[in-house]
Structure formats: structure tokens, C-alpha cells
Amino acid sequence: MKTYTIYINYNTLIITDKLPAQKDQIQQLDGNDFDFKTFYGGLGKTTSNQYVLITKDPKALLEQVKLSCTIIKASGGLVKNADGDFLFIFRNKKWDLPKGKVEKGEGMRDAGVREVEEECGVKIYSNDKKLCKTYHVYEMGTKVVLKKTNWYSMTVKGVPKLIPQKEEGITKAEWLSAKDLKPVVKNTYPSIMDVLKAGKLIKEKIKEI
């Protein structure tokens, strides 16, 4: 099954070739005449609904959505230290993972390393593999932006001291064990839950409340 998940405020749009099995109520949309701008304009700012588009070619439909948006590429990392703990940051009153925009002429993997190092004051030792991609739609002025973020599994040597980049709004940077993620799970973004699942820190995606 090929599936793309796009997070829009508190709403979720799933583009797939097969109806996903899940407990939560989900609204099925007609993919034949789907127009993303019309769909986006009809969403409430505070609603929390799940929608699914079933199509034979999910990638083609995703590309159609991209044409309706301004695309921003970003990259970030799920970073592990020598004790087996993971790096988390606290920004905008939520737990998050270090990430940032890809600069012109920069590769996605290199951008992820640079952003982690800048935001947390550490030196990345290895950038092992790509974990997943996440998609997030938001408004920037009059533009509707689709941010595509590549997430990578990274390591550092030892247990370095973390220095949060306060000018980027990061108030805390901490090493947390996989057993101590309850505060993160309760107060993070759905896309971050996808990264934690891809990194096998949690078994299932937990819907943001």
C-alpha cells in the first residue's frame, strides 16, 4: 500500500491506494475531481478531522497537490547518543525534533546535519539512513505552503552537552530515553509521531489531542 499523509493544522489528509484500517472516524473524498485549494479553503482553523483520498496513483495525486502550493524543503534528524538516549527540543510550547529549511544548492542529508548541529550545539558523528518524509501545510502570508521534511537517523559520540539555539525559539534541548517519552507524546506534532514510529521509538502513531 502506497500512502502519503499531509497534516493541515489539526486535520489529516491521507492519499492512498487502499482504505486504511483504523478506529477513528475518517471521511472519504472523491479523488476524481479533487481540488486542493478548494478543500483547504473549506477546512476550519480549529477542526480536527481525518480525510482520505483513494486513488490508483497516490504519487500523481500528491504531485497535483504540490502544484497548488508553494513548496519548502526541510530536513532534520532523530539523534542518538552513546547511552542510547535521543535528542529532543522544546519550541513554541511543544516538544519537537531539530530540523530546518534546506539552503539553495544544499543536499537534503547535509541540510539535516547542519540544522541539528546549529540548533543543538552538537557535532553529528554519523548520518545513517533516511527514516521517512513528512508533509505539513500551513499559511505564510497569502501563500499556502507545503513543507516536505526528510528525516534521518543520526548519532553523536559520547553524550555531548546540548546548547539550544534560542534565536530559533528553542528553549530546551534534552536527551531522553525511549522509556521517558510520555511528555513528548502528550505534547508534540502528529508528524513527529510519524518520525518516532519510523525510528521504532513507539509502536503506533498516537493522535494529537
Instruction: List, for residues 153-192, the tens digit of each pLDDT value.
Output: 999 999 999 999 999 999 999 999 999 999 999 999 999 9
**Mean pLDDT, residues 46-67 taken together:** 92
What CATH number labels 73-198?
A: 3.90.79.10
Q: Any idea where the domains of the chain sit in the sequence?
A: 3-67, 73-198
Please write the tens of the pLDDT for every residue from 8-41: 988 999 999 987 776 568 899 987 889 999 999 9
- Residue 45 pLDDT grade (very low, low, confident, very high; cuts 50, 70, 90): confident
Length of the chain: 209
- Residue 204 pLDDT grade (very low, low, confident, very high; cuts 50, 70, 90): low
Residue at 30: amino acid letter: D
